[in-house]
Structure 1
Amino acid sequence: MRNVFSTIVLSFLLVPLVTSPLGAQDHWTRFRGKNGNGVVPDDPRLPVRWNAKENVQWKTKILGWGWGSPVVWGDRVFVTAVHSDLDYEKPKGGLYLGQGRPAPPDAVHHWMIYCLNLEDGTIIWKHEAHQGKPKVPRHPKSTYAAETPTIDGDRIYVLFGDLGLYCLDLDGQPLWKHSLIPRKTAAGYGAAASPVVHENQVIMVYDNEEESFIAAHDAVTGEIRWKIPRNEKSTWATPFVWKHTGGVEIVVCGRKENRGYSTSGELLWHFDGKMSVLTIPSPFIFKDLLYITSGYFQDNKRPVYAIRPGARGDISLKADETANEFISWSLQRMGPYNTSPIVYRGNYYTLLDRGMLTCHNALTGELVFNRTRFPQGASFTASPWAYNGKLFFLDENGTTHVMPAGNEFKIESTNALDELSIATPAISQGKLLLRTASSVYCISRGTKP
């Protein structure tokens, strides 16, 4: 540990700290933003229309593949990617049935972290976290950099799910790392759950076919503060730190059970959610309700649950129930496969991978409109986002479908980038950061290429 602590001390003394006077809403600190819901306050600088040239402030090519979202602190943007010494199979869109790739590629790969300038896209620094041959296969659509980093203003925490957790300061100096034993995942799909940080704890979940767990690492030293086994198989949902009047909880979805943990790892509540065989969407909140869902498209189990705060013990629904003291409402066949839902202006929107949208009242679960198909056979993996009275849905071909918020399905415009797009965007300081297969775009209203 001496080298780790020496690095920390030297970095503190010799490297200027990155500081920012911006408000918390201006930083984009994790998957789907600070609140994990993809919604930001209205801002006239944020774009409604764009293409590969219109309203593009900058475009920066990134070497390698990665579907983790960008994160932003102050004037810096952070993204991850993995590239190979040999040309190997590129990620592909679409739906895949059955197995991932039968074996990892036999080529040296480089796991990279990039820092870009938010104003002009210049690469400020890059850091190779690891190089070597992958130990596990991956899903044909995915990459070895599927997780979104998390950031707290002092450090960035990067989880490469089958390798380890890496911590750097914002100037790219490595502070600590914690290696992981790579485990088998369902169908060889690989890992994808992103880490979150809360009060000097970095929380990660590694659900797999062999030895699943949730763990909290000290943000400064990397030491494990606690680690709890999970009676689960592979899942891919990012945990959520739920702050409410009764305290703070870490909410984690599971195929067997959904659970709420204390910040010290104690199990607070749980319930059998009869979740989908592939549990991917991440929990989030609106007002006093927390939403949990899953919906593999070939599974009859595609539930949605709205959870009230304060639960303790087993809160499972009985056979004939759709609600109880702590489950405000539920639906049994309305969950999405990959995308996480969004609540905006009182409506709960579910974006289905196969190009359909449903809408319910967020507080009651009452149906507003049923499955309505997007035009042109669009398919989706990125989660939706919202601002300025609009909802945005990015399809895998790089086209964003724009819809006014409300009780009707109406696509008013589309914005095409014409490149494979799987990553969920980031939004900060009046800028929309879209990641395609090759590049990061910064899009802002009224700017020029």
Structure 2
Amino acid sequence: MPLRSLLLVVVGAGCLANTGMAGGWPRFRGPNGSGVSPDDVPTPTTWSPTENLKWKVALPGEGVSCPIVVGDRVFVTTYSGYGFEGRDPKDLKRHLVCLDRQTGKVLWDKTIEAVLPEDPFTGMGVPQHGYASHTPVSDGQRVFAFFGKTGVVAFDLNGEQLWQHGVGTESDPRRWGSSSSPILVDGVVIVTAGPERRAIVGLDAETGNELWEAPSDSLGNVWGTPAIAKIDDERTDVVIGAPFEIWGLNPKTGKLRWFCEAMDTDSFNTSVVVQDGVIYAIEGRSGGSIALRAGGKGDVTKTNVVWSGRDINRFGTPVVYHDRLYFVSNGIVNCIDAKNGGKVFQARLQGGDRVTDAPPPGGRPGGGRGGRGVSDYSSPVAADGKIYYVSSSGDMHVLKAGDSYDSLAVNQVTEESETFAATPAISNGELFIRSNKHLYCVSEKK
């Protein structure tokens, strides 16, 4: 049963200030989570450990969070002391690392002590992704990192900690750990603290003070990141996928504005995508896809749905590019018409060392160059007429965007045993790719 009624309970309110950052990659999957580079700059097609690799930097720990790019700096989170590196949860630490985007030099590395007890590093959930799974977000002056039970921590660009605020210490029903990334909307840091608190929380970006809470029990099974839908000059909605529904919330108060019945699934692993006023989502082990117009009030199921289908997806979020919707699931790349949901093509990814048939959390990990063989968690991104997709094994597929499967290259940045579970960032023609061990910058040599 949907639990939207609980989402109407709201505490507090707050004032707002601006979100966007032109030309950067300031949050999970770039501008508004679209996965599309805003820069009109050519991007590399081929690379290797000896070709078009600008730099490679060792990270102070593991993680599957994605890098973000803010001006001349790159930020990424990691964890150390517990997990694959240690057995005592008391040694768990989180890191926010700032690097120079031109050289890869580490400018600063801030350590955040863990709030305990944490979900144990056991079973088939947490070991798949660890304790640094949330991509940070920046407003160009500050960086906000979410570390689950340890809370949200804000730093300025020089590494000075500004504030830290806890948003809950509970666990999701399966104890898989959390991964939803924070976003910024007009001076409000919006955190999907589903496992930790069964709520979405709004924090003042300046002070860290809590402005509002939007609770719902169903958020314990949400791992996606919200997106922003601009309705008109006076209204913006925060959109997120939840079990059985898509929700639109008021970013000033957290109050539910509308909901739409969607895929028949009791969990939501992926993130919604907003393009030209239309919201797209693909989710569900048994399949489910939807496109709906943003906006409205109350139940918009009968009025706002553009199309729905039975496309099957697991963890990666789709990318909408040139009126086509691309997503990769279980080693299969899919392309559907964004306007009507019709299938354009479907093909198995070709080339590389292997193709990962990703099991769901709780399934048996595979093998391959990735070492520990985690599932494929990364999402496709787009730039310069190309679709980029990184498998956990480190095979980096470059496809020509179009109406048929056209593989331009399959690249690797290393011959070492590393796992790649993060979605790349793209900025000014360069790709920033993180593994469990390193951060890489790929750039076409001029």
TM-score range, shorter chain: 0.7 to 0.9
Gaps of 5+ in 2: 1-19, 358-375
Q: C-alpha separation between the residues in 2 aligned to 1:183 and 1:131? A: 14
Q: Report matched runs for 1:427-438 at 5 Å.
A: 427-438=426-437
Matched, 1:35 2:32: yes
- Secondary structure of 2:308's counterpart equals strand
Report the alpha carbon displacement of residue 142 of structure 1 after superposing the two structures with TM.
0.4
Separation (CA, whole Å) in 1 of partners of 2:148 and 2:111 = 16
1:26-425 alignment, distance < 5 Å: 26-41=23-38, 43-84=40-81, 88-89=83-84, 106-131=89-114, 135-137=118-120, 138-208=125-195, 211-232=197-218, 233-245=220-232, 247-263=235-251, 264-296=253-285, 300=286, 302-316=287-301, 324-331=302-309, 333-352=310-329, 354-370=330-346, 372-375=348-351, 376-379=354-357, 380-417=376-413, 418=415, 419-425=418-424
Instruction: Give the corresponding residue for 1:99.
Output: none
Alignment partners' CA distance in 2, 1:396 and 1:154 = 33
Query: Which residue type is aligned with residue 319 of structure 2?
Result: I
Deviation for aligned residue 1:373 = 4.8
Structure 1: where are the runs of 5+ without partners?
1-22, 92-103, 317-323
1:120 partner amino acid: T
> SS state of the match for residue 141, structure 1?
helix
TM-score scaled by structure 2? 0.84
Q: Deviations over 1:41-99 (max 9, x none)?
A: 46445211111221111111101111111111111111110100x6x4379xxxxxxxx
The aligned counterpart of 1:100 is: none
Rounded to whole Å, the distance in 2 between the matches of 1:90 and 1:341 is: 33
* Offset of residue 105 of structure 1: 5.2
Quick one: distance in 2 between partners of 1:265 and 1:367? 36
Q: Matched residues, percent identical?
A: 30
Task: Give the Cα–Cα distance (whole angstroms) in 2 for the partners of residues 429 and 414 of structure 1.
Answer: 21
In the alignment, is the contact (CA less than 8 A) between 1:254 and 1:275 conserved in 2? no
Please tell me the residue identity of whatever aligns with 2:274.
I
Cα 1:343–1:389 change in 2 (3 A) is: same
**Mapped contact 1:335–1:350 kept (Cα < 8 A):** no
- Give me the whole-angstrom Cα distance separating, in 2, the residues matched to 1:274 and 1:403: 29
1:230 and 1:239 map into 2 onto residues whose CA distance is 15
Residue 433 of structure 1, CA deviation: 0.4
Q: Which AA in structure 2 matches 1:446?
A: K
Opposite residue 113 of structure 2, the aligned amino acid is: H
The amino acid of 1:303's aligned partner reads G
State the shift of 1:412 in Å.
Answer: 2.4
Write out per-residue CA displacement over residues 336-371 of structure 1, whole angstroms, 9 at most, x where no aligned residue: 11100111111111210x100121110111111245
CA distance in 2: counterparts of 1:82 and 1:271, whole angstroms: 37
Q: CA deviation at 1:335?
A: 3.5
1:336–1:128 Cα change, 3 Å: same
CA RMSD in angstroms, aligned pairs only: 2.1
| Rounded Cα–Cα distance in structure 1 between residues aligned with 2:261 and 2:207 | 36
- Counterpart amino acid of 1:250? V
Hey, what does 1:96 align to over in structure 2?
none
Question: Do the aligned partners of 1:41 and 1:388 also contact (CA within 8 Å) in 2?
Answer: no
CA distance in 1, matches of 2:42, 2:400: 17
Contact 2:198 2:216 in 1 (8 A): yes
- Cα-to-partner distance string for 1:84-119 (whole Å, 9 max, x where unaligned): 0x6x4379xxxxxxxxxxxx9545111111110011
**CA–CA distance in structure 2, aligned partners of residues 105 and 304 of structure 1:** 42
Could you say what secondary structure the match of 2:32 adopts? coil
Contact 1:240–1:283 under 8 Å retained in 2: yes
Shift in alpha-carbon separation, 1:24–1:180, aligned structure 2, 3 A: closer
Q: In the TM superposition, what is the alpha-carbon distance from 1:292 to its structure 2 partner?
A: 2.1
SS in 2 for 1:377: coil
How many residue pairs end up in the alignment? 397
Structure 1 distance, partners of 2:142, 2:93, is 22
Letter in 1 for 2:340: T
Shift of 1:211: 4.3
Letter in 2 for 1:443: V
Could you tell me how far 1:399 is from its partner in structure 2? 1.1
Amino acid at match of 1:191: S
User: Partner letter of residue 274 of structure 1?
Assistant: M
1:270 Cα offset (Å): 0.9
Q: TM-score, normalised by structure 1?
A: 0.84
The amino acid that maps onto 1:267 is: L
